[in-house]
Amino acid sequence: MIELEDLTKRYGDKLAVDGLSFTVRPGTVTGFLGPNGAGKSTTMRMVLGLDAPTRGDVRIEGKHYGELQEPLHSIGALLEAKGVHGGRRAYDHLLCMAQSNGIPERRVGEVLEMVGLHDVARKRPKGFSLGMGQRLGIAAALLGDPRILMFDEPVNGLDPEGIHWIRTLMQQLAREGRTVFVSSHLMSEMAQTAEHLVVIGQGRLLADTSMSQFIAENSRTHVRVRTPEPERMLDVLVEAGLRPATAADGALEVDGSEAPRIGELAAANQVVLHELSTQRASLEEAFMRLTAQSVEYHAYAPGDVQAAVPGGPPGPPAGTAAPPQGGQAPPGGQAPPAWGENWRKGRRG
């Protein structure tokens, strides 16, 4: 268990982490999500006692990190910067970490086996691929067989096989009852791995919720209807009190998930349908909606983003936490193109 209480970090006049309070519980994978610069890595460094908090507190199984005599038995971490001496053989890298915590030497061979690096144990990591480096970092995290594991963007730059491997590993670790805390800036990635979700933006907590609840509350569903007679179908839908919208490719989109009713309406009015499907707006979109106000340099007003969601009437995102401050006003001036910009264009067609 990791407990954060009002955790705050200020670098000069930059508030990197702003009053974070949440608890990471055992037995599940907790995703730690936020756009670039949200403060994820900074938070994780504070968990490990590497950076001192400006204010607030973080505890590992009830203790401050500095109070842990041999911390690798309690918590293992893979940090953003890999932190491996390129000239020190993989085996020796793990050995020196193991020795400092009284972990027997045979464990080094075990973890190398677990991550599939036994063949290169005697090689120097400067020749390692990205994936091999990541595996070495994970091997180090597993050394002390800790109850808590913390990974900072473990899948960054990995190929699909590597991503699958890490995802499976994290889920297995959680099944064994361990606390798994993993950061990412990809919602889609987290949706497949994490059961619990903590979202931050500009250092502030935006959501602390279960993944299923987040999906239920944040992914707007709509029904997509394709027909050779769009005008007639449009009339039928409007008459039935629905609010269809026309998508870029000419299909109709109706907010909600009333596919059966729409199919019956079409049948009753003898409209030919080529497609009738329920669509969920991607979680990535939900995530962007949630963090829109907190993304550093964004160029659009929050209202804009919601209007861009297909067929959806604008409305506030279903609250999962206190809405981020900042109001609805677009930021003054002409900001440079933000990320999200491409996505907006794409949706509008």
Ligand X SMILES: Nc1ncnc2c1ncn2[C@@H]1O[C@H](COP(=O)(O)OP(=O)(O)OP(=O)(O)O)[C@@H](O)[C@H]1O
DSSP 190-213: HHHH-SEEEEEETTEEEEEEEHHH
* Three-state DSSP state, 32: strand
Contact between 297 and ligand X per CB under 6 A: no
- Write the interaction track for ligand X spanning residues 162-201; mark x where CB under 6 A is met and - where it is not: -----------------------x----------------
Summarize as ranges the residues that interact with another protein (CB under 8 A). Answer: 45, 48-52, 65-66, 68-72, 77, 79, 81-89, 92-93, 95-102, 140
Q: Which does 198 bind (CB under 5 to 8 A by kind): ligand X, Mg ion, another protein, none?
A: none
Q: Which positions ≥6 away from 327 have C-beta within 8 Å? A: none
Instruction: Report CA Rg, the chain.
Output: 24
Sheet containing 75-78: order of strands: 75-78, 148-152, 179-184, 29-33, 196-201, 204-210
Q: Residue 179 contacts by C-beta under 8 Å, 6 or more apart in sequence?
A: 1, 2, 24, 25, 26, 27, 30, 147, 148, 149
Q: Is 184 in the site for Mg ion (CB under 5 A)?
A: no
Taking CB atoms, the residue at the shortest distance from Mg ion is: 41
Among residues 18 and 253, whose Cβ is nearest to ligand X? 18
Among the listed ranges 8-16, 23-31, 106-114, 280-288, the one in contact with ligand X (CB under 6 A) is: 8-16
Which residues lie below 8 Å from residue 209, measured CB to CB, with a gap of 6+? 196, 197, 217, 320, 321
- Binding residue for ligand X (CB under 6 A) from 36, 172, 188, 277? 36
| Of residues 92, 98, 189, the one with CA closest to residue 146 | 98
Tokens of 194: 């994490």
User: Least Å distance between CB 12 and another protein?
Assistant: 12
Q: Could you say which of ligand X, another protein, Mg ion, none residue 49 binds, taking C-beta under 5 to 8 angstroms by partner kind? A: another protein
Binding residues for Mg ion restricted to 74-133, rule: CB under 5 A: 80
CB nearer to another protein: give 84 or 225.
84
- Write the burial class of residue 127 (CB in 10 Å: 0-12 exposed, 13-18 middle, 19+ buried): exposed
Pick the closer one to another protein by CB: 37 or 53: 53
Distance in Å, CB of 157 to another protein, minimum:
16
Question: Tokens representing 197?
Answer: 């979700």
Range 49-88, binding ligand X (CB under 6 A): 80
Question: Which residues of the chain form contacts with ligand X (CB under 6 A)?
Answer: 11, 14, 16, 34, 36-42, 80, 185
